[in-house]
Structure 1
Amino acid sequence: MGETHAESVVRELYRDLLTAWNDRDAERFASLFAEDGVLVGFDGSQVDGPEIAKHLVPIFQDHPTSTYVARLRELRILGPGAVLLRSIAGMIPPGDGSLNPAANAVQTVVAERRLPGWRVVLFQSTPAQYHGRPEATAAHMAELAPQAANAELLT
């Protein structure tokens, strides 16, 4: 069974979110969130919609951020106008072509259909540390390695 229109739109919303990060564009990243949306960052920072761009600007200015590659795990309709997206993600440091295992993540997006379109109400990026399970880290890396090698953002 193929994706519904809502699932397809949310997949593209997630792609746009990761692309804005990879382009180091704080304003565009923040514009994808609902006014009452929330960003939960890799370090546990919790940032409300109106503050997201202000939160990201110094990160992009002061740090050479890594770029994302991600693989979808699930797209699920939660109800009329609401979709859950789950993925695994990896990051490629600047000037490097390989994934950094310390930056592996599990990501969640909850999106709602709002005027003028779909918006992120929650984006959470959780470190995928896999404590005591090196085989899980290896599997995470192996799954994303072909995308990293081909600079393919999302599958």
Structure 2
Amino acid sequence: MSDLTELLDSLVEAWNGGDAAAYAAVFTDDADYITFDGTHLRGRAAIESSHRWLFDGPLKGSTMSGVGDAMIKPLADGAALVIAGGGTAVDGRHRPSVVTFTAVRTPEGWRFASFQNTRVAAR
């Protein structure tokens, strides 16, 4: 499912470039986006707005890594579950997470319809 790998690559590239519009573009218009602290964003516009604030503020210059090592599980024609490790680094501190996406095929190509970020607890 190379299309989904490319979609994940686009997500990482947009994050690492601090590009909120490009980051939000990998999601469906009505996507559900759950952040590590349980905040529930609804829709592409909310995803873009919140990430614009993050990229201009507390996460400015942060980097994302690791999502390329994803498990992709087809669920039905045009739908897949994507689970990936990785996380973000801010000021040299890595914050590992496990992220889960529901990917759907749309007229524009594959997009993420849902996202859940779970921070990995320190051990």
Please report how far the alpha carbon of residue 37 of structure 1 lies from its aligned counterpart in structure 2 after TM superposition. 0.9
Separation of aligned partners in 1, 2:88 and 2:50 = 20
Residue 44 of structure 1, aligned match among 25, 38, 45:
38
Provide the residue aligned with 1:75 in structure 2: 72
Larger helix proportion of the pair: 1
Provide the residue aligned with 2:20 in structure 1: 26
Detail structure 1 runs of 4+ shifted over 2 Å in the superposition: 90-94
**Structure 2 SS opposite 1:56:** helix
**Structure 2 SS opposite 1:39:** strand
What is the TM-score normalised by the length of structure 2? 0.87
Separation of aligned partners in 2, 1:20 and 1:52 = 13
Unaligned runs of 5+ in 1: 1-6, 135-155
Specify the code of the residue in structure 1 equivalent to 2:98. Answer: V
**Cα pair distance change 1:51/1:75, threshold 3 Å:** same
Unaligned runs of 5+ in 2: none
| Match runs of 1:5-154 below 5 Å | 7-49=1-43, 50-63=45-58, 64-71=60-67, 72-94=69-91, 96=92, 100=94, 103-129=95-121, 134=123
Separation of aligned partners in 2, 1:116 and 1:91 = 28
Separation of aligned partners in 1, 2:23 and 2:70 = 22
Please report how far the alpha carbon of residue 66 of structure 1 lies from its aligned counterpart in structure 2 after TM superposition. 2.2
Please report how far the alpha carbon of residue 75 of structure 1 lies from its aligned counterpart in structure 2 after TM superposition. 0.8
Separation of aligned partners in 2, 1:53 and 1:10 = 20
**Structure 1 SS opposite 2:85:** strand
Please report how far the alpha carbon of residue 65 of structure 1 lies from its aligned counterpart in structure 2 after TM superposition. 4.7
Separation of aligned partners in 2, 1:107 and 1:65 = 21
Identity of aligned residues (%): 29
Q: Rg: which structure is higher?
A: 1
Separation of aligned partners in 1, 2:87 and 2:52 = 22
Separation of aligned partners in 2, 1:36 and 1:44 = 18
**Structure 1 SS opposite 2:38:** coil
Equivalenced residues, count: 120
Separation of aligned partners in 2, 1:61 and 1:46 = 20
